[in-house]
Amino acid sequence: MLNLSDRIQGGMWGLLVGDALGVPYEFHPAKRIPAYEAIEMDPPAGYDRTYPWLKAGTWSDDGAQALCLLDSLLANGQFNLNDFANRIVSWKDNGLWAVDRHVFDCGIQTASAIDKLRSGSSPTRSGFVNPDGKGNGSLMRVLPLALWHQGQDEELIEDAHLQSVVTHGHVTNQVCCALYCLWARRLLQGEGTEAAYQNAVTVLREHYRDRPEYHNALETEICPDKEPESNGSGYVVSTLHAARVALREQSYEAVVKKAISLGNDTDTNSAVAGGLAGIREGMEAIPSRWIGMMRGKDLAEPLIARLLDGRV
């Protein structure tokens, strides 16, 4: 029987390992992803890896921004919008929580939002720099909020919205982050994958009952009752659906490999699905060969230990 510590550690390391595993395959279409058994931290010999100079086991912007969020939550004891925004800027400018302090990947909308923050924009407005932007840059990092949060569902939903607004203000992004956090919370409580998802949808529908813009995004764009489909793209709904598709697999390894097999935004899809799989399966389910290859463990381990101290 998994305990809370197993699930929290599994969630954080599931995100970080999934991210690092997907990095070499990023931007490749599905037809150019290796076969299941060949998807590893080190791709097959001769594979055209995305960052050929990058050492295997290095997390990308997904992992670094997730650690920024976790660090901010632990430092403040609550979600502090200004503090989190400052940490995101420090990640981009100074490599905060990046392995070797080296930032090698940053989404277009995130970079534009950070430019706005540097110029003095409020973090409540910076994520609206591209009003129609629906990339997955806020979904990829939100999991620590669900692992840390001990408030009511309504509070978790609103905090998930706020952390998105820093870089991705569109309502669809906010709703995806809220749904993902509720789904993660139910998995953390030991519910099965599909039951946890359906419970999250039910709670969100009730929360949005008098908020038509949010309700419409949930029902007409995310379409939570439809069979999930994903082409692996960086569109936030595609990434959420990629997680739903991948979580049908029965092991952590199979989940992240399924997410990567979709191609395109492989690191984010694997991080988002992998975080949930890590909660569901626990820390011991993440292959030791991958944990052993992870770089930056000296950065992440003390932060995750602080998270555990406050939860278990």
Of 163, 182, 173, nearest to 71 (Cα)?
Answer: 163
How far, rounded to the nearest angstrom, does the alpha carbon of residue 260 sit from its chain's CA centroid? 14
Q: Helix, strand or coil for residue 40? A: coil
DSSP secondary structure string for all residues of 261-288: HTBSSHHHHHHHHHHHHHHHH-GGGS-H
Residues in Cβ contact with 176 at an 8 Å cutoff, skipping those fewer than 6 apart? 136, 139, 222, 236, 237, 239, 240
Instruction: Tell me the C-alpha distance between 38 and 207, whole Å.
Output: 43
Determine if residue 62 is labeled as part of a ligand binding site. yes
What is the Cβ-side half-sphere exposure of residue 5, based on CA atoms within 13 angstroms? 6
Determine if residue 267 is labeled as part of a ligand binding site. yes
Quick check: 232 and 264 in contact, CB under 8 A?
A: yes
Determine if residue 60 is labeled as part of a ligand binding site. yes
Determine if residue 265 is labeled as part of a ligand binding site. yes
Of 222, 287, 215, 224, nearest to 251 (Cα)?
Answer: 287
Residues in Cβ contact with 265 at an 8 Å cutoff, skipping those fewer than 6 apart? 26, 27, 136, 232, 233, 234, 239
Q: Helix, strand or coil for residue 135? A: strand
Instruction: Tell me the C-alpha distance between 297 and 16, whole Å.
Output: 10
Quick check: 176 and 235 in contact, CB under 8 A?
A: no
Determine if residue 268 is labeled as part of a ligand binding site. yes
Binding residues: 60-62, 265, 267-268
Binding residues for Mg(2+): 60-62, 265, 267-268
